[in-house]
């Protein structure tokens, strides 16, 4: 039996060209496994993923944009909060930083992934049905390549 932990969608206007997606997510406070999945994606008016990041509790992940989908590895830690920066340089090249560490992106397939048009979609799935909750916080999606140390705030 599959029990999604949660999903939320928010209307969004996606940038054309270079962009920066910055967010934090907290892992479910239970042993990380491939059944714990954390996804964030921003989809344009055609439903194409302009920005996409998926972290799986087995230490694998995907990142993508309108041009390509990449795989990567990362280090899950039960209950840990991670700071993530995903950037597109406007030419379709992605960079990913997790907790201040640059992550090697390995080409996987042409993009984009598709989803619900004109939304930011945030999903946490826990198919182990374990106790504990995960979260996404401090999500900022902006035009241009914002310096990593820039401070974001809400009005």
- So what's the pLDDT on residue 11? 86
Dihedral sign, Cα of residue 109, residue 75, residue 131, residue 1: positive
**Residue percentage of the chain with pLDDT more than 70:** 91
**Contacts (Cβ under 8 Å, ≥6 apart) of 57:** 27, 28, 32, 33, 34, 35, 36, 37, 76
* Helix (H) / strand (E) containing 70: strand 68-73
Q: How far apart are CA 40 and CA 54, in angstroms?
A: 7
CATH of region 4-143, choose from 2.60.40.1940, 3.90.1410.10, 2.60.120.200, 3.30.200.20: 2.60.120.200
Q: How far apart are CA 124 and CA 129, in angstroms?
A: 12
Q: Which two structure tokens, joined as six digits, stand for 80?
A: 């840990």
0.95 surpassed by pTM: no
**Alpha-carbon distances of 62 from 19, 38, 69, 150, 154, rounded to whole Å:** 18, 11, 7, 25, 28
| Statement: residue 112 has pLDDT above 60 | yes
The tens digit of pLDDT for each residue in 21-74 reads 999 999 988 888 888 999 999 999 999 999 999 999 999 999 999 999 999 999
Provide the mean pLDDT of the chain.
89
**What are the sequence ranges of the domains in the chain?**
4-143
Average pLDDT over residues 138-147: 87
DSSP assignment of 31-55, as one string? ---TTEEEEEEEE-TTSBEEEEEEE
Query: How many C-beta neighbours within 10 Å does residue 112 have?
Result: 21
């Amino acid at each position: 039996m599959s029990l999604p932990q949660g999903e939320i969608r928010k209307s969004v206007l996606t940038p054309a060209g270079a962009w920066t997606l910055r967010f934090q997510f907290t892992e479910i406070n239970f042993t990380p496994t491939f059944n714990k999945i954390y996804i964030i994606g921003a989809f344009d008016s055609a439903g194409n993923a302009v920005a996409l990041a998926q972290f799986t509790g087995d230490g694998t992940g995907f990142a993508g944009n309108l041009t390509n989908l990449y795989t990567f590895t990362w280090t899950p830690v039960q209950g840990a909060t991670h700071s993530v920066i995903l950037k597109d340089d406007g030419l379709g090249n992605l960079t990913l930083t997790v907790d201040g560490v640059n992550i090697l992106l390995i080409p996987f397939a042409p993009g984009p992934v598709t989803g619900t048009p004109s939304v930011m979609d945030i999903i946490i799935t826990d198919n182990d049905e374990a106790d504990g909750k995960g979260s996404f916080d401090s999500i900022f999606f902006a035009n241009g390549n914002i310096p990593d140390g820039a401070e974001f705030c809400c009005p």
